[in-house]
């Protein structure tokens, strides 16, 4: 349990953490989630909802279940996210192959792939957790 002194320090630090202060920083921050769309789950994307539902039905049938369960939907969501990540990774490699393959471009490729890893690990974890709960 945190002491009163620690709680007060946490509150002071939290007040300082208000995000970017400059207008350019705010603009950059706003664009982060829109860059590749992976921060938004497939269940919230109207273009992917039908795909998620269809995959959940296929998973349900493969498990000989009478209907689609919450677990089936969670597995389907994770699988759709993994497919999205793979498509984005392929397009990153394609763009790199079309570019001048300089050390600067290689560093940029590495950075883009590193960012995708976070989303991929999260999707694998969600799938593993869903499959383990059944």
pLDDT over 90 (residue 128): yes
* The total number of structural domains that make up the chain: 1
Q: pLDDT per residue over 71-101, tens digit each?
A: 999 999 999 999 999 999 999 889 888 888 7
Of residues 31 and 102, more confidently modeled: 102
Q: Could you tell me the residue range of the domain that residue 32 belongs to?
A: 24-132
Q: Answer whether residue 4 is part of any domain.
A: no
Q: pLDDT per residue over 32-86, tens digit each?
A: 655 667 777 788 888 899 999 999 999 999 999 999 999 999 999 999 999 999 9
Q: Answer whether residue 16 is part of any domain.
A: no
Sequence-separated (6 or more) residues with CB below 8 Å from residue 58: none
Degrees (nearest 5) of the Cα angle 122, 52, 64?
100
pTM reported for the whole predicted model? 0.69
Q: Answer whether residue 75 is part of any domain.
A: yes
Q: Answer whether residue 18 is part of any domain.
A: no
Q: Answer whether residue 105 is part of any domain.
A: yes
């Amino acid at each position: 349990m945190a002491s009163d002194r620690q709680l007060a320090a946490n509150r002071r630090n939290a007040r300082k953490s208000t995000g970017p202060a400059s207008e350019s920083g705010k603009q950059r921050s706003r664009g982060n989630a829109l860059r590749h769309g992976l921060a938004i789950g497939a269940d919230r994307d109207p273009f992917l909802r039908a795909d998620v539902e269809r995959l959940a039905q296929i998973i349900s049938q493969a498990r000989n279940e009478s209907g689609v369960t919450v677990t089936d939907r969670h597995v389907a969501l994770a699988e759709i996210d993994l497919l999205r990540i793979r498509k984005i990774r392929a397009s990153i490699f394609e763009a790199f192959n079309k570019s001048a393959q300089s050390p600067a471009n290689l560093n940029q490729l590495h950075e883009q792939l590193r960012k995708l890893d976070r989303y991929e690990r999260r999707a694998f974890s969600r799938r593993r957790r869903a499959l383990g709960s059944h």
